[in-house]
Structure 1
């Protein structure tokens, strides 16, 4: 048993893994593979000092974490905009061709799984992370290592990131549900849920048994490794040993894109994995960079979603739920039916007007539609199948939770419970506050909050931060032991460190979503700054209108709301915006909106954007009337023309260098 033999076995097993799991071309028998693995484990057992993180033996699982740690992505993991028909596809193409008439596209299957970022350091897998909220994800390295199509080492010096999708093949999904059914366990609704649940197991042994796989489809720094097109980047990572989807196709025009969509729509059911659409990307990387991004999505890519699947089932009852704003929503209780990859038993009916307009009755056979993660909805009733036993819909007049009289607001179709003490409204507010996009308190999900509320542990947002006072009572609850309690308290304490925008969104002020909360926090820097801002100052901020100003005014004039803020401040919650970096120096760019275009010699596009941000600039990807400066490199195109038309101050790269002293 020599070190040389160890290295020889590792090399052989890695080659066999690649041939089997990436190329789908096994070259040795299972018995030969297992014999080599046993020999490797035997050598490592005798010489534990020879075990390395990239050893094939480390894929079998066994590592158990106490909790998931957070990972801040080096670059944001954005989502994609969606389109649903050929007309919208052609509108996307028209927008691109306004700037690049001869654009070429790459079409990829939209794998229905879980997005992942893989980061390598000097050729070794450093960590794998989930997308999370796009800025911060969770470290799932221990589970990523169990996926045999993901290489533990690559031939690359320095840092390298590649992104893709972890998924569960249909074969693995069916086998997993068969095993769970035999064990009397709840079945997974669809492969996506099963994959997501698997990669978020603290025990990697579980993930190792689930038969997960991964397709990789993006290199954020593709241009830096010499690629000029997205297709070249895919070929590059394939040579490094990553698994890419073989169905990917380069299309010369939008007609070829639509033909590919129709072809894949027909083949969808025969694929060994679930897909929910087609991703269309501009192939040229320089075009991608120049087209830029909106606040949420890249302008150079779009996701075509397959038409929503429709099924027929029976509507057994109509029940009513309440949201955190007090809005009452009618919901259909259905005979369980499988649609769009999952079993549906409830569907939204939206509001009274919708139900009456569609004439939906209890006892009707109805058409239910669901697309992807969209909440299922009842499309229409099948009146021709009625037998006379159906009951007409009747809107309730009092809140089903507190008995208060419901009010329908002017110019709205919805009814509201106005009772501020309604238990259901309180529960929904607490759930929203603790949710991922708000304070992101791990372990404080909907069911736990409802249970804690009914037990009297958490009656309001403030009570979250005194849950430690009920430690023994909580630990007496079945399934809530010492480790669960410690993890929950740690997550609650960690939430105090969140940046201001998380807290602002969590407060649930009407009209202030996650993006608006970030804009307001960035502008005012602190909660006090926002609460003391003038109406004129608020209205001067992008996308802030009268409705949002009224919501803020109601909040800051409400004694209970101000008391909540003061209490949270006293117990140590951060009230400041933490994303700002210390200014490199005073400059004319501080507080200004700046756009960059053209090819630069001084820095890469990303480097100059980061540099401008550290000078206090708001860097955008497009030119508008609000743009203060446009910095131009060589071959500046439409942005320069637009800036000239709008009177935006244009600055050459040389002028920029002189201005900042570079």
Structure 2
């Protein structure tokens, strides 16, 4: 009967038994070949990422390969091997570096890329411990380098990387150079032996400064790789110069003490003198976990360092022990990963835009790619020298990221993917708009179109003058500025104040109400603070802060017009480039005529005298995001009351006002003994002195 059934089955399919066996063998061979190819590519990516600190795949591409390999191995267990990347962590340690065997393996975490996957992880844990009630600890997943620090009798003896999870690299001399890692535990009776685990990372600011100082052969793709490469230096002095930092997140093991929860372990780590991330939070249930994940997906770009997700751990250590591990991953913890902000795509072309001061601003035409739900087809390239330094070529595969969640940037080329057909970029010789020869100064990275009448410069300068940061011509945006320039109504920024209702109504899309609102905005701009006018005049090297310092020092445009270059340069905080640029600009007759036209139009060119204000002699500095005021409004309020606004933390600073997610200034202020206040204290101070915080005039 079995033979007849077998024959009937193959009569229906029309395939001979020998043919089907051959087909199955062929499929099996193809599957095995695919598994081998996936393992080869993953192992090569691991080597490039963990050992050479030179990622050739983005996180999304790597995860795609790993997910495919894991799926095949789950469906075909016979293809799984002990040395598969799915069973290992990272890459083997470098053979020439001293090795350290972890007494307790440093395993990696499973990833959840959606709330559904996070809920599925919770259900799996609940199925194993059906009567348990879980409390969770949520931690920001710092994008850095995992580190295990061993302390014996309270003294640091070993600093080792994760390596392959079982054996890591001993970089103790280099670890000792990181100032946030204590050499001794702050404990009168320390445990005989303890291992503190955490993340070595580099801030975004330090990463950008480091990359700017390196040659194109050594560029790092992101802060994580910069941190890894900076730690793994033969000379610890180089590591010491790289501004690395550390957050402790776990006790790997401890002798002589018993702990009951992970949260208790975090408090102990902090008491010992380790930095512990201040945004860690306990969650009573999964709903609070999900709320935390959603909150930080939006807020992560306000941090001074990069995170790529949230780590969720079951708090009870006894429950962790019962849940145990599966493969290389603990069942009691998971990483909720945010969508990547770095992706790989093709650089199709490099084009040029001329800025408001004549700067040559190259930008990239990209093969469209999705980054966090936004299709990106163009990105900034900073300047021509940056293109040459990074050796970007047209046709390259490149790593692209959204900086601060908004501006796409090309980070570096993926040299390993080059075919030989890519074309190097050739710096332009003439302005693409007005054909004027481009100017390049030996000590500057940015090239310039020197033609002040260049149509491209005119448009950009008009847009800047009208922008919120300058004269804030509400209701007049880039589109309206372009229309006004194209129609010939505006040839200099002073022409804004000669516009008529009839002219505005001739613009496409502008109706009577819109025209009236535009005229009201222009009239209101005449009362803007003097520094906004100076900033809005498009003078090279004169940014917002510099404009404020200069106008506060001289008090009026008349006084500024008679100032010497030396007087301008003598202002604290104003450098020689800014002073020379401003002085030279003010000496040009056409610019003086422009100032006179603005004066005749009624634009404010003085600082209101504020003798003996209630905050006279006091200096203020703001850090973090304010909830009720913009930074500009808060600073202007200080000036109205006679106080001064500082640019950085010094021992002479009077007050630091701290908003949400403050940066490094908070810690500096604590060390300097500066008075620290929250935003509510500042608002109460303003009300006490009669400042209306709802006024748009601030």
The interval holding the TM-score normalised by the smaller chain is 0.3 to 0.5
TM value normalised by structure 1: 0.47
TM-score by length of 2: 0.45
Structure with bigger gyration radius: 2
